[in-house]
Every structure is written in C-alpha cells, then in structure tokens.
Amino acid sequence: MVFKDVSNLYEGVVLDVVLVVKILEGASENISIPDKKVIFKIYNVALLDEENNDISESISSEMTLRFTAPEKLNQREGIQIILEGESEALSCTLENNFVEFDTDKLGNFAVIVDVKPSSNFAIAITISIISAFLLVFISYLLLAIIRKRQKEEKINK
C-alpha cells in the first residue's frame, strides 16, 4: 500500500511511521456486505509509529490507499471497498493490477465484488435444452408409431 500524500495525514510530528498491511483469513462480523455482493478479500491496515504503537486512529485527513490487486480480481465485476463498521461501499479503481481508493480511516476493510451468476442458471439452461430434445424425440416416436399403424390398417383392409 502506498500513501499518495502523507503531509497532513497525522496530527503531530512523527519521524518514522510504517504502514502495515495484513490479509485476514475468514470473515469479519463487523463488515456489512450489500445485497448481491460477496467478500473477495479482507485486509487490515494499520499505521505504526517508531515504537510499534498503532496510531491509525490519529489520522486527520483523507488519504489514497493503493495496493496490489488480489489474484483474479480483474475477472470480477462491481469491485468496491467496504470499511469495517460502515454500511456504504466506497468506489475504487482497478488499474494496472492495483486497487486504489480514498479513505479517512484505517483498520479492517474488504474488497467486495458482485455475486457471480448462479450455477443454477446454467443447470436450468441445460435442463431446458434436454427437455426440448426429449420433446422432439418423443414427438418423432409418436409420429413413427402413428404412421406404422396407418400402414398396418391399409394392409389389413
């Protein structure tokens, strides 16, 4: 992750700060996911001072966070960011394999994406095609049986 402008990021003078980014495994109960969205990846971002104290709460202005996009994120639609404890998703950009968004706080956040079309749709299409094929096949068989009976009736007359 990269800060584009850190000049007004922290109130007070800090000589050495480190931005720590961790990928979190599992779900976070405090991240509200909008309808028709799923969590793609969850991160924790913290700003540490020279004594490894978390000074993330002291951030006083908006910043732009930029990080390498998770693998296969570019194959998904509706990419957004949602911060822990927030209900509104933030817009972000995905460019040159980097995700970038503006925020005024650090902590846990999730990259969310649109739900992939359900495989049930594919199953429904497959069943429809098979049903249509069976209908045509059964119709052909019935027609063949009817013609055979008509020929037998002509012969028996």
Write down the pTM of the prediction.
0.63
**What confidence tens digit (pLDDT) does each residue in 34-62 have?**
888 888 999 989 988 888 889 888 888 88
DSSP-derived 3-state class of residue 133: helix
Evaluate if residue 8 carries a pLDDT over 70.
no
Q: Residue for token digits 């199953």? A: 123
Q: Which of 10-24, 82-96, 118-132 is modeled with the greatest confidence? A: 82-96
CB 39 within 8 A of CB 79: no
Region label for 56, one of left (φ > 0), alpha (ψ between -120 and 50) or beta (otherwise): alpha
Give the tens place of pLDDT for each residue, 56-104: 888 888 889 888 898 889 888 899 999 888 888 999 999 899 999 999 8
Cα–Cα distance for residue pair 120/105, rounded to 1 Å? 39
Task: Give the highest mean pLDDT range of 28-37, 112-121, 134-143.
Answer: 134-143
d(CA 112, CA 97): 16
CA 138 to chain centre: 44
